Chains A and B, each alone.
Chain A
Amino acid sequence: DIQMTQSPSSLPASLGDRVTITCRASQDIGNYLRWFQQKPGKSPRLMIYGATNLAAGVPSRFSGSRSGSDYSLTINSLESEDMAIYYCLQHNEYPYTFGAGTKLELK
């Protein structure tokens, strides 16, 4: 199975900060990588698809990038509504696997 190693698990940050969350894939997944945001009691929301593409309706302060087997989600100029848990998902092959999640919280 493909392992998605996500870091950090917790990320304290201040409003206006630029933050980056990373997932490392244990095998090649191409660009079959998505990022989700989840707030307490809510369903996941798709933020990034194809590793680098912004999903519909997602603010432009969010971006995705790839460097080899490392995939990153960056949020520029953090806003209070961005406080949530973020997960990556590889859907290159079954079983699909999520990263363990990163809890973004106010410092």
Chain B
Amino acid sequence: EVQLVESGGGLVQPGRSMKLSCAASGFTFNNYDMAWVCQAPKKGLEWVATISYDGSSTYYRDSVKGRFTISRDNAKSTLYLQMDSLRSEDTATYYCARQDGSYPNWFAYWGQGTLVTVSS
């Protein structure tokens, strides 16, 4: 069974950093591109970043470029999101999602999300 479990969220002050993790199990992690998607409270979904299966390619939404870094440790089957220079508008639940594989299953698997609150 595919499982994605996020952790690392919490309360952080503006301008500080936070690192999210997503532990994957039930599939061969290093075969799949992975993504982070966020959702501000009572708002819609926003794609944040994607990393290729081997970590060689990364993609970001403009609002996080230069501040967030997506990475992965395939030996640990874990996806990361390093969030620097946090702003109040980064407050959201962050989901990790399996982005690819067989075409029907793109974005079929999501974690439960971890809440990041940026506030002083």
Residues of A within 8 A of B (CB): 1, 34, 36, 38, 43-44, 46, 49-50, 53, 55-56, 87, 89, 91, 94-101
Contact = CB atoms under 8 A, between A and B. Distances in A.
A58 B46 CA distance: 23
B50 A94 contact: yes
A56 B95 contact: no
B104 A98 contact: no
Interface residues of B, number: 21
B104 A55 contact: yes
A101 B37 CA distance: 15
B78 to A, nearest CB: 18
Contacts of B59: 94-95
What does DSSP make chain A's interface, helix, strand, loop or mixed?
Answer: loop
Interface stretch (B22-30, B68-76, B109-117): B109-117
Contacts of A53: 104
Interface in B35-72: 35, 37, 44-47, 50, 59-62
Given A49-B106, A89-B107, A43 B112 contact: yes
Interface of B: 35, 37, 44-47, 50, 59-62, 95, 103-104, 106-108, 110-113
B111 A98 contact: no
Contacts of A56: 104, 108
A1 B59 CA distance: 13
29 contacts: A34-B106, A38-B45, A43-B95, A43-B111, A43-B113, A44-B37, A44-B95, A44-B110, A46-B107, A46-B108, A49-B104, A49-B106, A53-B104, A55-B104, A55-B108, A56-B108, A89-B45, A91-B107, A94-B50, A95-B47, A95-B60, A95-B61, A95-B62, A96-B35, A97-B47, A98-B46, A98-B47, A99-B44, A101-B44
